[in-house]
């Protein structure tokens, strides 16, 4: 049986409980190492990898509205708001590619 264990978080130095239930979960997953960080610190690290991209505001070249883009807008490139961008994408979507005619099976070659 597992027993609650008190561990010290590597990040913030706070003690946290590695509960019997968690230990059971860890074992079921085959994890051999105990958690190094308390839950808040683990969550923090998890979220750090998924930080939202920095957005830059620009004027939409189509409707004049505010366009938010994940890159620094440059003067020589029109920037579109998400609405206009979606509209343009729809309009410029390539027509469905026709299926290529089935190739004839290569003639059997005479073995030499």
> Which residues lie near Zn ion (CB under 5 A)?
9, 11-12, 38, 41, 60, 62-63, 65, 81, 84
Closest approach of Cβ 38 to Zn ion, in Å? 4
Nearer to Zn ion, 55 or 63 (CB): 63
Strand partners, 104: none
Q: How far is CA 53 from CA 2, 41, 60, 67, 68, in A?
A: 42, 22, 19, 15, 11
Q: How far is it, in rounded angstroms, from Cα 51 to Cα 43?
A: 12
Q: Closest CB to Zn ion among 27 and 83?
A: 83
Residue closer to Zn ion by CB (options 38, 69) is: 38
Contact yes or no for 39/19 (Cβ under 8 A): no
Question: Taking the complex as a whole, how short is the minimal distance between the CB of residue 107 and Zn ion, in angstroms?
Answer: 57
Local structure of residue 19 (DSSP, 8 states): -
- Residue number with CB closer to Zn ion (4 or 83): 83
Least Å from the CB of residue 97 to Zn ion: 29
**How many CB atoms are closer than 10 A to CB 73?**
16
Least distance CB 36 / Zn ion (angstroms): 9
């Amino acid at each position: 049986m597992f027993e609650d264990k008190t561990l010290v978080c590597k990040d913030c130095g706070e003690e946290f409980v590695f509960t019997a239930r968690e230990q059971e979960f860890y074992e079921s997953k085959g994890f051999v190492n105990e958690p190094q960080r308390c839950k808040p610190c683990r969550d923090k690290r998890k979220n750090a990898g998924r930080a939202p991209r920095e957005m830059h505001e620009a004027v939409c070249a189509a409707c004049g509205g505010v366009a938010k883009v994940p890159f620094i807008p440059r003067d020589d490139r029109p920037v579109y708001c998400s609405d206009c961008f979606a509209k343009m994408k729809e309009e410029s979507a390539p027509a469905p590619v026709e299926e290529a005619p089935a190739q004839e099976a290569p003639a059997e070659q005479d073995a030499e």
